[in-house]
Chains A and B, each alone.
Chain A
Amino acid sequence: MSMINIKLNNMDLACPAGSTILEAARTAGIEIPTLCYLKEVNQIGACRVCVVEVKGARTLVAACVYPVSEGMEVFTNTTRVREARKKTLELILSNHRKDCLTCVRSQNCELQKLCIEHGVDQVRFADDELKAEIEASTAHLVRDNSKCVLCRRCVSICKKQQDVAVIGANDRGFATNIGSPFGRTLGEMACVSCGQCIIVCPTAALTEKDDTEKAYAALADPKKHVIAITAPAVRVALGECFGMPMGTNVEGKMVASLRRLGFDKVFDVGVGADFTIMEEGTEMMQRLETGENLPIITSCSPGWVRYCEQYYPEFIKNLSSCKSPQQMTGALIKTYYAQKMNIDPKDIFVVSVMPCTAKKYEIWRPNQQAVTGCNDIDVVVTTRELGRMISNAGLMFTNLQDEEFDPMLGISTGAGYTFGVTGGVTEAALRTVVEKLTGKELEKLVFEEVRGYDGIKEAQYDVAGRTVKIAIASGLTNAGNLLDSIKSGEANYDMIEVMGCPGGCVNGGGQPIQTGFVQSFNDLREIRGSALYKGATDSRHLHKSHESPIVKEVYSECLGEPGGEKAHHWLHTTYKEQPKYPGLAAEQKK
């Protein structure tokens, strides 16, 4: 990499050629403020908050897009720069609905943070008439355009990273607004509910639909037996809600806090994941034997499943018929656990804590009732919502003593544990499938090739005399590209793992929100993912799903064989092609 020399605030700085002023300044320990910037996703210089002075330039320039050049002299903190940034912020505030006292993003809002940092201590150009513009047509998301700063991060992430593109910038000038075409609601579009738009939103223009009241209502109902279940990825991110370093595994404190919130039992969705491996592994072995419907494609990620139904319906037959680990855990609670504890499943209320917003949608999908008339999961709260519940209850999270999950459905294997990160499902499946097919114990547990954070990974293993070709995609653009290569005949695989969000659940749409600057210069996927891999090896005695005592017990007591009739009834589901333009399709049907 060739280096060039610039002067930054009169100090010499060597930086790689081709970097932007923003990147160069960062290496010198200066965070130039940003609002619309998101590295590699949204670099459009739109918000003008990152302006700096460049000697010889006629105007201030946007540091996020302006490349450095040899001998350039940059000033990031002159009076002119400070005044310009402040004025820009004041103008953004002029049509921002400022209900900061009651806003869910207060203290975690990039606009608020910038205003504090830039001494915006009065509102000079207020529009006091601004009304909330709420759009809440989906199960997972609330949009309030009265708080939108038109940064377009959501638009970019939806299109570039997720290949969904159901929102865009409409109209022009002062009337510009972010939304779906023709004033359609998101519910009328083929949104996959991934929530990536929420975690990149700098303000509260996009938030998850808050379902904590439903959880509180169940907890307050003496007739309800209320159970919390938590996904693997929650424990490596929840600490961020309480100022703990990114990548801290807070499993024990999370369990302790859930007990203190009043949950009767706290179970681990990692256990559901172990069952997923048993069922999906069996399905995979059957398909490998018959050669039908290969590649088998994972179905754990509801954002991905919905994407498949809407955008790649020709691959529906390839989807594993397994429910997701969340739904399997819920199904086992309402059947096995209910029978064992002699509780009417209708009196059990399952609150699922998820790193994911699509899970809020998944619970309402068809065929997600192991017990007829009884949803497998009653309500989903995201990691962020749980964080708020813990704060609400006055729990001193960082001081809590670690506690363990309730044992009946609470001890997952290391295999189930890794479901929260891209490649994890594949590795967990391989640990079981390879042993079953070869009849021999694995020599090593780790399948290096399937780990890592590339958008598409490939691996190939010789198992019991045949080659098993595997691909792993995370992020829906990558998934789409992979499916396109299969459609065109360029590639073929036996198994594909898809996670809707880049990096897998650790980077899900329900996870704690870091600023755009933090997201741009830290790989959250890797930081949280490594914590998950570490937790999976450190704390677990068992590493293969088929060796789990819970798995063995439930199959022998109730389910029978993996892939058997009862297992199918409880743990499997169905898929159906969905229109790509649902609003228009519904009108045309009429």
Chain B
Amino acid sequence: MPNTKTSVPFVGTTEQAAKLQAVIQRHKGQRGASMPVLQEAQEIYGYLPEEVQVMVAEGLDIPLTEIYGIVSFYSQFILEPKGKTHIAVCMGTACYVRGAGDILDDIANHTCCKSGGITDDGSVSIEATRCIGACGLAPVLTINNDVYGKLDRGQIEPIIDEYLEKAKAEEAAEQE
């Protein structure tokens, strides 16, 4: 049994909770309610941590084990939040044969973040995605909403650093 509990503390707002409750009320009692509720819950929170799954389980009167069984079965559901800088490396066939695996390892080393994981401070998360349909750009990855293609090893690290510095600067500005 792998421990799939995220290390990032849960922060949910009352607005998010109210939204989720409305979703639950809309679907409660329906057959197969758990799928649409979980999908909408993920839209609200960005991911499905234990706290959210408990709200869904209690709201729908379905055991948490069953909710978690569904969440861990489908890859569309994610248990880790996305970091401030979210890197998605395409692992489709074309990207993979052009070295996406090495690039993914490099990024993981560079950012000290596991593939499929998030750093404890929530700054970086890495995802290995299925084919994103941009095979002409292989190997391709996205950082937040920006696409970077035709990458060689060693090219991506400085780009990532830019994102990290920008995120840091924004955070500092917010705190002031």
- Residues of A that sit less than 8 Å from B by CB: 133, 135, 145, 155, 159, 165-172, 177, 179-184, 581, 584
Structural contact, A171 and B72, CB atoms closer than 8 A: yes
Could you tell me the distance in whole angstroms from the C-beta of A476 to the nearest C-beta in chain B?
Answer: 13
Structural contact, A183 and B66, CB atoms closer than 8 A: no
Residues of A within 8 A of B31 (CB): none
Structural contact, A145 and B1, CB atoms closer than 8 A: yes
Structural contact, A182 and B68, CB atoms closer than 8 A: yes
Partner of A181, one of B50, B51, B73: B50
Structural contact, B5 and A184, CB atoms closer than 8 A: yes
Partner of B65, one of A133, A165, A584: A165
Residues of B within 8 A of A133 (CB): 1
Give Cα A170–Cα B72 distance, bound, in whole angstroms. 6
Residues of B within 8 A of A171 (CB): 72-73
Q: How many chain-B residues does the 8 Å CB contact rule pick out?
A: 19
Structural contact, A181 and B64, CB atoms closer than 8 A: yes
Partner of B63, one of A159, A170, A172: A159
User: Given A168-B63, A171-B73, A181-B68 in contact, is the A584-B54 Cβ separation under 8 Å?
Assistant: yes
Could you tell me the distance in whole angstroms from the C-beta of A499 to the nearest C-beta in chain B?
Answer: 22
Q: Does B69 contact A (CB under 8 A)?
A: yes
Give per-residue flags for B110-129: 1 if the beta carbon is below 8 A from chain A beta carbons, else 0: 00000000000000000000
Give Cα A584–Cα B53 distance, bound, in whole angstroms. 11
Residues of A within 8 A of B3 (CB): 182-183
Structural contact, A183 and B4, CB atoms closer than 8 A: yes
User: Given A159-B63, A584-B54 in contact, is the A168-B68 Cβ separation under 8 Å?
Assistant: yes
Structural contact, B65 and A581, CB atoms closer than 8 A: no
User: Given A165-B65, A170-B68 in contact, is the A182-B54 Cβ separation under 8 Å?
Assistant: no
Could you tell me the distance in whole angstroms from the C-beta of B54 to the nearest C-beta in chain A?
Answer: 6
User: Given A182-B50, A584-B54 in contact, is the A167-B72 Cβ separation under 8 Å?
Assistant: no
Q: Which residue of B lies closest to A145 (CB)?
A: B1
Could you tell me the distance in whole angstroms from the C-beta of B60 to the nearest C-beta in chain A?
Answer: 13
Could you tell me the distance in whole angstroms from the C-beta of A358 to the nearest C-beta in chain B?
Answer: 20
Structural contact, A581 and B54, CB atoms closer than 8 A: yes
Partner of A167, one of B51, B65, B73: B65
Structural contact, A181 and B65, CB atoms closer than 8 A: yes
Identify whether the interface residues of B are mostly helix, strand, loop, or mixed: helix
Structural contact, B5 and A183, CB atoms closer than 8 A: yes
Q: Does B2 contact A (CB under 8 A)?
A: yes
Structural contact, B66 and A182, CB atoms closer than 8 A: no
Structural contact, A170 and B50, CB atoms closer than 8 A: no
Structural contact, A179 and B54, CB atoms closer than 8 A: no
Q: Which residue of B lies closest to A181 (CB)?
A: B68
Residues of B within 8 A of A159 (CB): 63, 65-66
- Residues of B that sit less than 8 Å from A by CB: 1-5, 50-51, 53-54, 63-69, 72-73, 79
Structural contact, B51 and A183, CB atoms closer than 8 A: no
Give Cα A179–Cα B1 distance, bound, in whole angstroms. 7
Residues of B within 8 A of A179 (CB): 1
Structural contact, B2 and A183, CB atoms closer than 8 A: yes
User: Given A181-B50, A182-B50 in contact, is the A168-B4 Cβ separation under 8 Å?
Assistant: no
Structural contact, B66 and A168, CB atoms closer than 8 A: yes
Could you tell me the distance in whole angstroms from the C-beta of B79 to the nearest C-beta in chain A?
Answer: 8
Residues of B within 8 A of A182 (CB): 3-5, 50, 68, 79
Residue among B1, B68, B69 facing the most chain A CB atoms (10 A cut-off): B1
Residues of B within 8 A of A172 (CB): 72-73
Q: Which residue of B lies closest to A165 (CB)?
A: B63
Residue among A168, A177, A182 facing the most chain B CB atoms (10 A cut-off): A182
User: Given A182-B3, A183-B1, A183-B5 in contact, is the A168-B69 Cβ separation under 8 Å?
Assistant: yes
Q: A170-B1, A182-B50, A184-B5 are in contact. List 16 more A-B contacts (CB 8 A).
A: A159-B65, A159-B66, A165-B64, A168-B66, A168-B68, A169-B69, A170-B69, A181-B53, A181-B64, A181-B69, A182-B3, A182-B68, A182-B79, A183-B1, A183-B5, A584-B50
Name 20 A/B residue pairs within 8 A (Cβ), A-sorted.
A133-B1, A159-B66, A165-B65, A168-B63, A168-B69, A169-B69, A170-B1, A172-B72, A172-B73, A177-B1, A179-B1, A181-B50, A181-B53, A181-B65, A181-B69, A182-B4, A183-B4, A581-B64, A584-B50, A584-B54
Residues of B within 8 A of A168 (CB): 63, 65-66, 68-69
Could you tell me the distance in whole angstroms from the C-beta of B122 to the nearest C-beta in chain A?
Answer: 17
Q: Which residue of A lies closest to B10 (CB)?
A: A588
Give Cα A165–Cα B50 distance, bound, in whole angstroms. 16
Residues of B within 8 A of A177 (CB): 1
Give Cα A542–Cα B50 distance, bound, in whole angstroms. 56
Question: 6 shortest A-B CB distances, which residue pairs?
Answer: A168-B65, A181-B68, A165-B63, A183-B3, A179-B1, A182-B5
Give Cα A169–Cα B4 distance, bound, in whole angstroms. 14
Give Cα A586–Cα B19 distance, bound, in whole angstroms. 26
Residues of A within 8 A of B66 (CB): 159, 165, 168
Structural contact, A166 and B1, CB atoms closer than 8 A: no
Residues of B within 8 A of A145 (CB): 1
Could you tell me the distance in whole angstroms from the C-beta of A153 to the nearest C-beta in chain B?
Answer: 15
Could you tell me the distance in whole angstroms from the C-beta of B114 to the nearest C-beta in chain A?
Answer: 15
Residues of B within 8 A of A166 (CB): 65
Residues of A within 8 A of B1 (CB): 133, 135, 145, 170, 177, 179-180, 183
Give Cα A133–Cα B65 distance, bound, in whole angstroms. 20
Residues of A within 8 A of B54 (CB): 581, 584
Give Cα A183–Cα B63 distance, bound, in whole angstroms. 16
Could you tell me the distance in whole angstroms from the C-beta of B67 to the nearest C-beta in chain A?
Answer: 8
Residues of A within 8 A of B65 (CB): 155, 159, 165-168, 180-181
Could you tell me the distance in whole angstroms from the C-beta of B40 to the nearest C-beta in chain A?
Answer: 20
Could you tell me the distance in whole angstroms from the C-beta of A183 to the nearest C-beta in chain B?
Answer: 4
Residues of A within 8 A of B67 (CB): 181
Residues of B within 8 A of A165 (CB): 63-66
Could you tell me the distance in whole angstroms from the C-beta of A406 to the nearest C-beta in chain B?
Answer: 46
Give Cα A134–Cα B63 distance, bound, in whole angstroms. 24
Could you tell me the distance in whole angstroms from the C-beta of B148 to the nearest C-beta in chain A?
Answer: 31
